[in-house]
Amino acid sequence: MSHRPGSLADAFAAAAALRDDKPDSLPPGRLSPVSPLLRATPTSSSSGSSGSVPPPRTAAAAAAAARRGGDYCYGEGFGGSPLIYTSPCSGAGAAGSSSTATSAFATGAAFPAGNICPSGRLATAPPVPPPRAARRDVLGSGTGNYGHGSVVRARCAAATAISEDHASAAVRMMPTASATAAAAADAAEEIRHAGNEQYKSGCFEEALRLYDRALAVWPDSAACRANRAAALIGLNRLGEAVRECEEAIRIDPSYGRAHQRLASLYIRFGRTADARKQIGMAGLQPDVVELHKLEAVEKNLGRFLDARKIGNWKSALRECNAAIAAGADSCAMLFASRAEALLQINQLDEADLAISRASKLDCSSSCTQDIMFCGFQANSYIYYVRAQVDIAFGRFDGALSSVEKARKIDSGNTELMAMHKNVRNVSQARSLGNELFHSGKFAEACLAYSEGLKHHPANSVLYCNRAACMFKLGQWEKSIEDCNEALKIQPNYWKALLRRAASYGKIEQWEDSVKDYEVLRKELPGDPEVAEGHFHALVALRSSRGEDISNMKFGGEVEALVGTEQFQMATTLPGVSVVHFMTPLNQQCSNIAPFVDALCTRYPSVNFLKVDITENPTVTQLENVKTVPTFKIYKDGTRVMEMICPSHQLLESSVRQYEV
Residue type, 621: Q
Partnered with residue 608 across adjacent β-strands are: 578
Mean pLDDT over residues 464-474, rounded? 96
Q: Sketch the domain layout of the chain as residue ranges.
A: 5-162, 181-289, 559-659
Give the Å distances, CA to CA, from 543 to 159, 447, 511, 550, 574.
Answer: 122, 39, 12, 10, 12
Assign a CATH topology to domain 181-289. 1.25.40
Residue 474, CA distances (Å) to 435, 457, 478, 509 in order: 20, 24, 9, 15
Instruction: Give mean pLDDT, residues 472-480.
Output: 95
Cα 104 from Cα 109, distance rounded (Å): 6
Q: Which amino acid is at 611?
A: V
| CB-based contact 86:146 (threshold 8 Å) | no
Q: How many Å is the maximal CA-CA distance in the chain? A: 152
DSSP string over 391-408: HHTT-HHHHHHHHHHHHH
pLDDT in tens, 386-414: 999 999 888 988 999 999 999 888 888 88
pLDDT category at 367 given cuts 50, 70, 90 is: low
Confidence of residue 34 (pLDDT cuts 50, 70, 90): very low
Do residues 429 and 455 lie in contact, with contact meaning Cβ atoms separated by under 8 Å? yes
Per-residue pLDDT at 122: 45
Contacting residues for 451 by C-beta, under 8 A, at least 6 apart: 429
Q: Which tens digits make up the pLDDT trace of 600-618? A: 878 877 889 999 999 999 9
SS3 of residue 214 by DSSP: helix
Residue 547's CB is within 10 A of a number of other CB atoms, namely 12
At the fourth CATH level, which superfamily is domain 559-659?
A: Glutaredoxin (3.40.30.10)
> Strand, coil or helix: what is 326?
helix
**182 pLDDT above the threshold of 50:** yes
Q: How many whole angstroms separate alpha carbon 268 and alpha carbon 254?
A: 23
How much of the chain, in percent, has pLDDT values that exceed 90?
A: 46
Check whether 357 has a pLDDT greater than 70. yes
Least confident of 77-81, 358-362, 366-370: 77-81
For 48, list phi and psi in degrees, rounded to 5.
100, -5
- Collapsed DSSP state (helix, strand, coil) of residue 609: strand
Query: Rounded CA gap, 306 and 112, in Å?
Result: 84
